[in-house]
Amino acid sequence: MKIFLIEDDEALAKVVKEAIEKYGFEVTVPVDFADLVGEFSKLMPDLVLMDINLPYFDGFYWTRELRKLSNLPIIFLSARDHTMDQVMAMEYGGDDYLVKPFANEILIAKIKSQLRRTYGEYSVAGERILTYRELQYFPERLEIRYGDKKEFLTKKEGELMELLIENAPTIVKRETFLMKLWDDERFVDDNTLSVNMGRLRKKLEDMGLVAKIHTLRGQGYQLDWGQG
């Protein structure tokens, strides 16, 4: 699970990052605090830890901006202990609030609680979750989720979904898909790829994701919210 730690105090960020990583989470801190939305979009984390006092714009502003892109859990970490700050954090889209200084054990408990609430029990048991925007794919279960809807995939559909999400929104070549679908028992041709991609498209459409897998003639396929 990927966590985006938005904290401009480098010393504190280092301590918190190391504490969280001990529990198996992948933690990223911002490089450019003026473009947190851009960094968020590239990372596509599963959870955000948000400070309030930040350069350029405060945590309330950035939370409002991130909420335009995602409903992922956002936990505020702040030295501000006033009731109004906590109320504002919730009103701007925060899911929880932890006052500094805090015990690492409490932070981990809150992170796990939010991940369970959002992604289910499997999220903290080592199961992989691949995400693009609001779409979630659980490879071990061959399950995709979007909002409150879910679909189960075949093994080959799942392999296609994994490649699309891992590379989104860039184009994946047809040859890459064919190599992924190949096995020792059966040759996979271009028609097999087209059929399975069509079935995957249909399942996404049934969940409300219409025209999100794009065919680029002579190139390959692309999962992208920005088209169609």
pLDDT exceeds cutoff 50 at 184: no
Dihedral angle computed from the Cα positions of residues 168, 113, 36 and 56, in that order, rounded to the nearest 10 degrees? 170
Q: Which of 97, 124, 151 is the last residue of a domain?
A: 124
In a domain, 228, yes or no: no
Question: From CA 156, how far away is CA 158, in angstroms rounded?
Answer: 5
Residue range 76-104: mean pLDDT, rounded: 92
Q: Are 203 and 212 in contact (CB under 8 A)?
A: no
Residue range 176-202: mean pLDDT, rounded: 79
In a domain, 172, yes or no: yes
Q: Which of 124, 155, 184 is the last residue of a domain?
A: 124
Q: What SS3 state is found at 76?
A: strand
In a domain, 86, yes or no: yes
Q: Which of 124, 156, 185 is the last residue of a domain?
A: 124
- Among 4-8, 81-85, 146-150, the least confident range: 146-150
Dihedral angle computed from the Cα positions of residues 138, 140, 142 and 143, in that order, rounded to the nearest 10 degrees? -30
Residues 165 and 119 in one domain: no
- Give the pLDDT score at 182: 75
Partners of 136 in beta bridges: 131, 145
Residues 144 and 112 in one domain: no
Number of domains in the chain: 2
pLDDT exceeds cutoff 70 at 65: yes
Residue range 51-57: mean pLDDT, rounded: 94
- Give the pLDDT score at 127: 66
- Give the pLDDT score at 228: 41
Q: Give the C-alpha distances (Å, rounded to integers) separating 201 from 20, 82, 136, 177, 211.
A: 37, 49, 15, 15, 8
pLDDT exceeds cutoff 90 at 150: no
In a domain, 79, yes or no: yes
Closest by CA position to 44, among listed 129, 108, 121: 129
Residue 185 confidence class, pLDDT cut points 50, 70, 90: very low
Residue range of the domain that includes 212: 132-223
